[in-house]
Structure formats: C-alpha cells, structure tokens
Amino acid sequence: MPAEPGMWLALADVTLVVHAAYVMFVVGGQLLILAGWMTGWGWTRGLAFRLLHLLAIGFVVLEAWFGATCPLTRLENILRAHAGRTRHEMSFIGYWLDRLIFYAAPDWIFILIYTVFAGLVILTWVVYPPRRGLG
C-alpha cells in the first residue's frame, strides 16, 4: 500500500526541522562558545562539544568547496517529490524554516561565508582551546 502524501510531507518537514537545528547548532554553538569565553562558562570548553561543532562546520565547508548538495536538502526534496509537491508547497512552519535557512545568492558567496565562519571556529579553537573532561 503506497504511503499517503501527508506522511511524506510530515517527514519532509521533520527533515527541515533537523536541518534548521543543524544550522542553529553551528551558528548558535559559535555564539555560545564566544559568550562562554567572555563569561567563564566552563562547559563551552568541553572537548566533545567543541569537536562536534568543529566537525559540523567542517562538513558544511567541504560540501561548499566541492559543490555538493547538502544531504538534508536532498532528502527533503525527495520526500516532497514523493508527496507530489515541490519545495515551495509546504506547511506554515516548513515555509518559515525554509526561509530561515535557504537564501538565493551565487555559490561563491556561500563558499566565502562558510569558509570565513570556519576560520572563526578554528581561530576560537586556538585562542580559547577546548579542555578534556568539561561539559
């Protein structure tokens, strides 16, 4: 029995929420690391958190450099296609999450932004290094 379009749309929206959470982890994580540096929060030096954060932005940068489509974007598009919809035919929350994380600009701008941001993450790693056993 084929799945209902509503199920595919729900899965696409869940994928979009996961994608937005990933973006928030990368951006918000860096903001929290900087805030932790200024306020003395020990958990922002936790090695596991910092390593996961570094790997998250590293994955984004490698995708951009190699021109790869994000797997979450690809999955969301596949799920919407199974429902017979396009990216622009989505739920209210899906629409606003989509607007939050997707922008129209030439690829080189995203490559530059991601690379500079990764440079900030690496610089922060060096000048405010993680410590084992924290977090």
pLDDT at 1: 45
Decide if 133 is inside a domain.
Answer: no
pLDDT at 95: 67
Q: Which two tokens stand for residue 42?
A: 């020990």
CA 82 to CA 56: how far, in whole Å? 28
Range of the domain at 93: 5-127
How many C-beta atoms surround the C-beta of residue 85 within 10 A?
A: 16
Domain count along the chain? 1
Contacts of 125 (CB under 8 A, 6+ apart): 50, 54
Decide if 132 is inside a domain.
Answer: no
The one-digit pLDDT tens for each residue of the chain (135 residues) are 456 878 998 899 899 899 999 999 999 999 999 999 999 999 999 999 999 999 999 999 999 999 999 999 899 989 989 888 765 566 656 666 666 677 677 889 889 999 999 999 999 999 999 998 765
Contacts of 54 (CB under 8 A, 6+ apart): 121, 122, 125
Decide if 67 is inside a domain.
Answer: yes
CA 78 to CA 85: how far, in whole Å? 10
